[in-house]
Copies of this chain bind each other. A is one copy, B any other.
């Protein structure tokens, strides 16, 4: 099993290896391929072979998911990456910076929410109609696009 991995310079790796390296389930990788997030070539026997660089690509997906991005959003980010060509350091830096600002705004949002919550704790928060935290308008405004479970 490991033999295949250590067989020197083989740029094309089977799905199982990619799974091991990324920690993803094989089925998840196939799913990502179906979604168009990674691509593979096929062997004569119709088995997938991935580029080593796809391990990086998939790892990026994992990071982005951790930040709360949905696959669709991740796809958008990745679309700027050259398909098939090994992404450069600069590619990754650019995308990473974009993620950084994502994180920043999430932190800001949470901080604002915390401040509001503090006010509520202070006031006992039984006058809920005027409570900043569950103001309807506010809620609607905060929702925006993207998966709604991601701390809007």
- Cross-chain contact B113 with A66 (CB below 8 angstroms): yes
- Residues of A in contact, count (CB < 8 Å): 46
Interface class of chain A by DSSP: helix
A151 interfacial by beta-carbon distance below 8 Å: yes
A27 → chain B, closest Cβ, in Å? 16
| 22 contacting pairs across A/B (C-beta < 8 A) | A22-B134, A59-B131, A59-B134, A62-B139, A65-B149, A66-B142, A68-B151, A89-B124, A89-B125, A92-B125, A93-B124, A96-B120, A96-B121, A96-B125, A97-B121, A103-B110, A103-B113, A106-B151, A107-B110, A107-B111, A149-B149, A150-B151
Seed contacts A100-B117, A103-B114, A149-B150; 17 additional CB < 8 Å A-B pairs: A23-B136, A23-B140, A59-B131, A59-B134, A62-B134, A63-B117, A63-B133, A65-B149, A66-B139, A93-B125, A97-B121, A100-B118, A103-B113, A107-B110, A107-B111, A110-B110, A150-B150
